[in-house]
Structure 1
Amino acid sequence: MNVYEQIVAEIKTASNIIITSHKSPDGDSVGSSLGLLHFIEKLGKTATVCHPDPAPSFLDWLDTSSFLIMTEQGEAVEAAFATADLVFCLDYNGTNRVGYDMQVLLEGLTCKTIMIDHHLAPEDFPTITLSETSVSSTAELIVELIEQSGNINLLDQKIGTPLYLGILTDTGSFRFPSTSPRTHEILAKLLTAGVAHHLVHELLSDNNTESRLRLQGYAMCEKLEVMEDYMVAIISLSKEELAKYNYQKGDTDSLANQALSIKGMKAAIVFTERDGIMKISFRSKGQENPVNVLAAENFNGGGHANASGGMSELSVTETLAKIKDLVPKYFSAN
């Protein structure tokens, strides 16, 4: 029995299944959660999705109404964990990625847990681990689970649409190096199953609010700094600047990729002041410009070589100065 068949066997014998994912959800965490949920339902079982916090507004077109959110429905989440006999850990490699309150629940479990993830250095807390760091996304791994367990006949539009979203967003619309020939084979399977890929692109891209566009315009026009000797772009946004443009979760998610699109740019670093800390996104191009080490060694973060996150408890000004001081240590001069 391979690991995929083993996972399906656990689903079929479980009575109370929970699907969890990381804090600050994105297209892959939400998409893989929904795709797995609908697959479990096709197997004749039920599951409860428990996320630490709500999905960003640009994913409102997805049906996440059944999700239990820790920050909003803590007692319901605790009750679900209390009766769980199987818990999925999607799109994260360590228990600290789910926020403190859910981390306590997760680490207190006595039932079986299954990690499905593609991030580097997975922790060994799960009972079963499906970790493939070379794969584009957790959503791609869910498709592999469906196929390699012998259940490809169950793949349909309802399962496939959120999984297509997850692959789309975590590959940067299929432009990141993690997009492999196998990724495209899986995309073909999703299209064959009825996924309307053009609608996913439209729903994801053509739903900007006026305030979101104005914030992004302000960031690119007034806050973009380029360290030309190293071709690294930096954008910083204070809580006052975010408030001025009625910031909503997800409004700044594309800024790093926009800055990285400047001709010749090696890396882009964007940080925003939220919840009393600086939340930092790192993006880069090429194997010679990894950002995960920079994030891990200096900002309590990490992730993929070309896409990582971190945080700083310093002020906006101090964080900006620290980043500028570190750039020459991690990127070669032109």
Structure 2
Amino acid sequence: DKCDKCDKNKRGRGAEITTSDIIQALNQQLDPSLVQQALALIQPAQRIALIAHEHPDGDCLGSALGLAHILAQIGKTCVCACADPAPRTLDFMPGIDTLQRTLHDEDYDLVIALDAGELPRFGSLYQQHQAFLERVPILNIDHHISSSGCGKVNIIDPTSSATAELLVLFQQQAGLPLNKDAALCLLTGIITDTSSFQFTNTTARTLETSALLLRAGAIPETVVQPIYRTHPLALERFKALVIINAQTSCGGRLIWSQATGATLEAAGATEDMDDNFSGALRDIEGVEVAIFFKSYSDPNMTRLSMRCAAPYNAAEICQRIANGGGHARAAGGYLNLPIA
């Protein structure tokens, strides 16, 4: 009859995928035993410190603030801390003004370490509170392929585009509440770590988790406008100097440039304005490997960021030569050497 024909036509076209199907799939992405172990740490804790790695970006801060907003809804007292100040482009994130630079009295039942899997990556927070961090229970949530895990429980998933994406999976699978503020912070993490979904780490699951955040009230324009569309003139001058100073090798496939305090002074710029210069170098035609070196306040330390095209692996290179790590296409590290 007519209904049978309709059913046959549907089967012929393939079953339609609904929002419920997607949400159900997202609820099954993580190892259930790890989720339960993480909840076993969270549930009895009353005061929780969420720490972001040094030289923070949108993912580590968006993850810390986003998870703090989630946990506050279940009665937890949360404090977010980072060794370094947040970039000014992230001032729009709810709760960014509460970010601390220290753990003060160390009165916490649990520490959640985000977007890095080694305690030294948390910079002066680790140096100031090393004894505390080595005895307090730590839940480590990270997506870097080079991550070794620094927690009693480690949830590490290199297939996630961002730690923020991984946190959406955790929130869904753990049955934790999601509000607008949490959604905006987590969307910030995903957008910044995928460069607005341009990088190859963007997957169908990345877009599906982002859709959940939009349904919870996050607005992409709130993230994109201050980060990608509103640049101070000093930043553009800074970038121009970096491009002008660039050098190439291997027929233009390798490019590098550098910046020092003198570069900042010449541009009228500040240290927090150099977030994606290696990406800008990588965007130049013919480039396969781009490296940006910088040395500002400490003349005997040079930090670097690297962007690579396949088959080169930025994380492996930075692990071998620069005390660092990250992702196959994007990584960073440091050298205990002057820049020149």
**TM-score strictly above 0.5:** yes
What letter corresponds to residue 62 of structure 2 in structure 1? Answer: G
1:110-147: CA deviations, max 9, x gaps? 23110000112433541111111221111011111110
Q: Tell me whether 1:149 sits opposite 2:181 in the alignment.
A: no
Taking structure 1 as the reference length, the TM-score comes to: 0.86
Give the aligned partner of residue 322 of structure 1. Answer: none
What letter corresponds to residue 11 of structure 1 in structure 2? Answer: I
Give the aligned partner of residue 13 of structure 2. Answer: none
| Counterpart pick for 1:294 among 296, 317, 323 | 317
Contact between 1:95 and 1:107, CA under 8 Å: does it hold in 2?
Answer: no
Give the aligned partner of residue 12 of structure 2. Answer: none
What SS class does the counterpart of residue 308 from structure 1 fall into? Answer: strand
Contact between 1:117 and 1:131, CA under 8 Å: does it hold in 2?
Answer: yes
Q: Tell me whether 1:20 sits opposite 2:55 in the alignment.
A: no
Q: Cα RMSD over matched residues?
A: 1.8
Percentage identity across paired residues of the two chains:
28
CA distance in 2: counterparts of 1:266 and 1:219, whole angstroms: 18
What SS class does the counterpart of residue 221 from structure 2 fall into? Answer: helix
Q: Tell me whether 1:139 sits opposite 2:164 in the alignment.
A: yes
CA distance in 1: counterparts of 2:55 and 2:302, whole angstroms: 14
Contact between 2:140 and 2:149, CA under 8 Å: does it hold in 1?
Answer: no
Give the aligned partner of residue 128 of structure 1. Answer: 153
1:155-208: CA deviations, max 9, x gaps? 222110010110111112212222111111101111111111122211222332
Q: What is the CA-CA distance between 1:275 and the residue it aligns to?
A: 2.5
Q: What is the CA-CA distance between 1:78 and the residue it aligns to?
A: 3.1
CA distance in 2: counterparts of 1:115 and 1:12, whole angstroms: 16
What SS class does the counterpart of residue 230 from structure 2 fall into? Answer: coil
Q: What is the CA-CA distance between 1:249 and the residue it aligns to?
A: 3.0
Give the aligned partner of residue 324 of structure 1. Answer: none
What letter corresponds to residue 233 of structure 1 in structure 2? Answer: I
Contact between 1:78 and 1:105, CA under 8 Å: does it hold in 2?
Answer: no
Give unmatched runs, 5+ long, in structure 2.
1-31
Give the aligned partner of residue 71 of structure 2. Answer: 40
| Counterpart pick for 1:64 among 81, 89, 96 | 96
What letter corresponds to residue 256 of structure 1 in structure 2? Answer: S
Taking structure 2 as the reference length, the TM-score comes to: 0.84
| Counterpart pick for 1:257 among 279, 283, 293 | 279
Give unmatched runs, 5+ long, in structure 1.
71-76, 318-334
CA distance in 2: counterparts of 1:191 and 1:5, whole angstroms: 27
Give the aligned partner of residue 247 of structure 1. Answer: 269
Give the aligned partner of residue 271 of structure 1. Answer: 293
Q: Which moved more, 1:136-145 or 1:5-14?
A: 5-14
Q: What is the CA-CA distance between 1:227 and the residue it aligns to?
A: 1.7
Contact between 1:39 and 1:155, CA under 8 Å: does it hold in 2?
Answer: yes
CA distance in 2: counterparts of 1:216 and 1:257, whole angstroms: 11
What letter corresponds to residue 259 of structure 2 in structure 1? Answer: L
Q: Tell me whether 1:182 sits opposite 2:208 in the alignment.
A: no
Contact between 2:70 and 2:179, CA under 8 Å: does it hold in 1?
Answer: no
Q: 1:202 to 1:188 in 2, by over 3 A?
A: same
CA distance in 2: counterparts of 1:44 and 1:183, whole angstroms: 29
What SS class does the counterpart of residue 108 from structure 1 fall into? Answer: helix
Give the aligned partner of residue 169 of structure 1. Answer: 192
- The count of corresponding residues between Structure 1 and Structure 2 is 305
| Counterpart pick for 1:233 among 244, 255, 270 | 255
CA distance in 2: counterparts of 1:8 and 1:203, whole angstroms: 35
